[in-house]
Amino acid sequence: MATTLRPKPGEARSYQFPDFRDEKLPGGIRLVTAPVVKLPLATVLVIVDAGSTSDPAGEEGVAALTAGTLLEGSTRFDGAELAEKFEQLGTSVESGADWDSAFIKITTVSDKLEDATRLLGEAISSPIFPEREVERLKAERLAEILQLETEPRGLADEKFSEFLYTPDSRYSKPDEGTAESVRALSRKDVDEFYRARYRTGSTTVILAGDISTDASRALINGAFQNWPSGAGRSQSLVAAARTPGRSIHVVNKPEAPQSELRVGHIGLPRNHPDFFPTLLMNAVLGGLFGSRINLNLREAHGYTYGASSFYDWRRGPGPFVVSTAVQSEVTAAALREILVEIDRIRSERISEDELSLARDYLDRVFPIRYETTAAIASALATLVIYDLPTDYYGSYRRNIRAVTADRVLRAAKAHLHPDQLQTVMVGDAQVIADSVADLNLGELRIDGS
């Protein structure tokens, strides 16, 4: 048999996630350091418990705007000067807010690390949020919102969240805010948000790369000596469903060559005890190239360039969503196949072959994920943000291997909810609306011309 030609794997070399140290600095900042010696590089990642879910009601987008304006002017330098200073050091600061935290990040060559980190600490400890820059970033956000009108992928994602969560849930609105909420934001809102949230007690600094723990500690103690002390304000999150049963929404784009599809429901919080079986279940359903949904829609039917599913893991229950773009004419047929796959994985045990594909992949790909200082820093941030155990990465592969087909079936039954599916289609209503009517996906609403 030809398959006997196939080479067998050699003996696997062991791999360990980089050793790291997790400590509290005297000033109250949490410091996580992972010395990695490979290239003369290091990443400094500051995370603050000031993500978009901390936006006060009516001020959606203030977390993102605050993080975005943080480097746009300090008591000593204006925004242009700051950009110039960092870039002369060969680095530039990325800052922003995702749902669960604000982040400020630089990657530099080793011999510029000290200067760049000192400058970073000083700048973000003394931001002045100039009115002009706040207004400029607001205008840039409004331009982005306008662009979404003609960008079907982003529009579908946004509409899906809107239809998924009750309007008082922060998750129902874009993380960077709506046109209405962004227009209403002021310099004062940003300044207040910063003062309430950016505190030693809510801040972690992560250093990964070509620097020792001792040197990191000395560097951060100095660079962040003026970081405001105290605990950051916290806020609870609403994440309830908007519609009790199924419903389907068409965002009409006449003559669109494809329909962007999003099908799903509210998923699970990151700290859910079924995280590992659910991760594997999703890998088989739509997470991998060789998943059921992709092989069905792409390889068997040629409906799409790609189809996938995922759980958006957040502190609160983020969406579970199947996502694809299909040729307009086959929209209903593709949707039917997605429903079939969701039902099938809930009704029968996955095969040993499917289980081992997903399990082997997730287990063995582990070392490939941490090749860069930025990836290691980001993995450490995940530990902090979701309060995962210190040995999370040490035990990750064991936890993956412990998942069985029975546990996958139980996760599918417990965490996939065909009766709650919300469907969003951005496409040509004339071509797709009638054909999807008999799929029993709930009340159909059509938005737009």
Partner 1 sequence: MALHGGQFTRMRIPVETFHLDNGLFVTLSEDHTAPIVAVNLWYHVGSANERAGRTGFAHLFEHMLFQGSAHVGVNEHFELIQRAGGTLNGSTWLERTNYFETVPSNELALALWLEADRMGELLPAMTQEKLDNQRDVVKNERRWAVDNQPYGTMLEKMQELVFPPSHPFQHSLIGSMEDLSAASLDDIAQFFTTYYTPDNAVLSIAGDFDSEEARKLVTKYFGPIPKGKGKPPLPPMNLPPVFGGWLREVVQDNVSLPRLFMAFRSPIFGSEEYYDASVASAILGMRKGSRLHRSLVRERQIAADAGAFTFDLAKGTDLMVVDVTARPEVSVAQLEEEVDREIELVYREGVAESEVKRAIALIETDLVVSLQSAGERADRLSMFATYFNQPGLINEQADRYRSVTTERVNDLISERLGEDNRASLLYVPKEGVETESVLAAAGTG
* Least Å from the CB of residue 349 to partner 1: 19
* Least Å from the CB of residue 237 to partner 1: 31
Percent helix, percent strand, percent coil in the chain, to nearest 5: 50, 20, 35
Beta strands in 219-290 (DSSP E): 247-252, 258-266
* Least Å from the CB of residue 229 to partner 1: 30
Residue 368 lies near partner 1 (rule: CB under 8 A): yes
Residues 6+ apart with CB under 8 A from 94: 103, 104, 105, 106
Phi-psi region of 387 (alpha: psi -120 to 50; beta: other; left: phi over 0): left
Tokens 């790909």 found at: 365
Q: Which of 20, 86, 103, 163 binds partner 1 (CB under 8 A)?
A: 86
Span from 61-69, 182-190, 364-372, 409-417 in contact with partner 1 (CB under 8 A):
364-372
Residue 431 lies near partner 1 (rule: CB under 8 A): no
Q: Which of 146, 218, 231, 240 binds partner 1 (CB under 8 A)?
A: 146
**Strand 41-48 relative to strand 102-109, pairing:** antiparallel
Q: Which of 125, 178, 243, 327 binds partner 1 (CB under 8 A)?
A: 327
Span from 23-31, 33-41, 168-176, 340-348 in contact with partner 1 (CB under 8 A):
33-41
Residue 322 lies near partner 1 (rule: CB under 8 A): no
* Least Å from the CB of residue 46 to partner 1: 18
Cβ contact 340:410 at 8 Å: no
H-type helices in 149-204, by residue range? Answer: 152-164, 179-184, 187-197
Span from 117-125, 161-169, 244-252, 352-360 in contact with partner 1 (CB under 8 A):
352-360
* Least Å from the CB of residue 373 to partner 1: 7
Q: In what order do the strands lie in the sheet with 247-252?
A: 304-311, 319-327, 258-266, 422-427, 247-252, 443-447
Which residues within the stretch 189-248 sit at the binding site for partner 1 (CB under 8 A)?
A: none
Please provide the distance, in angstroms rounded to a whole number, between the alpha carbons at the two ends of the chain: 60
Residue 402 lies near partner 1 (rule: CB under 8 A): no
Q: Which of 298, 315, 346, 415 binds partner 1 (CB under 8 A)?
A: 298
Residue 41 lies near partner 1 (rule: CB under 8 A): yes
Residue 357 lies near partner 1 (rule: CB under 8 A): yes
Number of residues that bind partner 1 (CB under 8 A): 79
Residue 309 lies near partner 1 (rule: CB under 8 A): no
* Least Å from the CB of residue 259 to partner 1: 9
Q: Which of 39, 231, 402, 437 binds partner 1 (CB under 8 A)?
A: 39
Which residues within the stretch 255-274 sit at the binding site for partner 1 (CB under 8 A)?
A: 256-258, 260
Residue 107 lies near partner 1 (rule: CB under 8 A): yes
Nearest-5° angle of CA 403, CA 407, CA 410? 155
Cβ contact 33:217 at 8 Å: yes
Residue 143 lies near partner 1 (rule: CB under 8 A): yes
56-85 mask for partner 1 (x: CB under 8 A)? -----------------------xx--xx-
**Strand 30-35 relative to strand 203-209, pairing:** parallel
Cβ contact 390:432 at 8 Å: no
Is 388 exposed, middle or buried (CB count within 10 Å of its CB: 0-12, 13-18, 19+)? middle
3-class secondary-structure state, position 335: helix
